Amino acid sequence: MLTFTIRRLVLAIPTLIFISLVIFLLLQLAPGDPMAQVPLTVPPEVKQKMREALGLGQPVHIQYLKWLIQVFWIEPQVLFDYLFGTSFSEGKLRVISWQTRSPVMDIVIQRLPQTLTVVGLSYIVGILIAIPIGIYSAYRQYSVFDQAGTFITMVGFSIPPFFTGPLLIVIFSVGLGWFPSIYDTTHRVTDWESFTYQVRQMIMPVMVLALQTTAQISRFMRAAMLDNLNQDYVRTARAKGLSEAIVVMVHVLRNSMIPVVTVIALGVPGIFGGAIITEVVFKVNGIGAYLIDALFANDLPTVMTISFIFAILIVAFNLIADILYGVLDPRIRYD
């Protein structure tokens, strides 16, 4: 397993470099000009100097190499300096946002807690709801509960967050007035009243994201349980006189969780993608909303850096899924 992990980590480096090249070339081909928002009264020669200051006058390959060095060499030094109090990155040029003229990673780190709070909690809630539903649906196959669960999961698969988000706002914020429609990122929990407000403002964005997670994982859980309920070892366990609860919740569930855990690991990057729309709908001041703002402002360094972060998540959680599959299933041997 250790040899496999090291080999995959080494392979991840050229993979990420290739992904970054593809992202960079696609953004270069995309329409738009960062100088488009500059007032028309600004003289052309001033605009040209502004373009040169942003590095737009350099060849494409030079721009890419500079960004590559900044992300893979300078930004890790900044993190090392922050952790250990050194000064390796002092005076070195970092990835700078064209829109805010500040380091992109600093803004990402500032907004990361908001995204992790909403995304992390929604994923946990979705998993906690999905696994019991999948277990009971498989055990009571074709029952009313199973049919209702199938209908709800199909709805969860079919309806995107940009529809469920405004729908919940219309029903629960505008109509009933139960929850705030805008997520207040400046809110701080200091007492019981502020805690209840924090819970109320998190319910709708969390449930929008949890709906998709529940729909996906519950279907995988149901399919895995149905496959194992028909195996010979289940009939043997029942013939030995084991109770139905032990057969289902210990033997069947343990084997059924092997593919489901890998699905859970692979689904983490996807939930971050769904959070982009959810953050815009509920005004969550997170990474997703920052990415959308950068897209509208043609802020290419910001768009490329955040897109690359999502690519790192995909590669990392693919590796985690493979490792978990090997750990949980003794039949799998990577070395």
| Residue 110 in tokens | 């500032």
| Residue 316 in tokens | 């990392």
Q: Global pTM? A: 0.75
SS3 of residue 324 by DSSP: helix
User: Given this model, what pLDDT does residue 230 score?
Assistant: 77
pLDDT digits (tens, 9 = 90+) for 285-308: 778 778 888 877 777 888 888 888
Instruction: Tell me the HSE value of 279 on the side-chain side, using a 13 A CA sphere.
Output: 26
How remote is the C-alpha of 308 from its chain's centroid? 12
| Residue 19 in tokens | 């992904």
Average pLDDT over residues 33-45: 62
Angstrom CA distances, 327 to 145, 323, 324, 334, stand at 33, 6, 5, 10
CA gap 312, 9 in Å, rounded: 12
Is residue 7 a contact partner of residue 319, using CB atoms and an 8 Å limit?
no
Helix (H) or strand (E) run with residue 229 in it: helix 192-229
User: Given this model, what pLDDT does residue 56 score?
Assistant: 65
Amino acid at 238: R
pLDDT digits (tens, 9 = 90+) for 176-208: 878 877 777 777 777 788 788 888 888 888 888
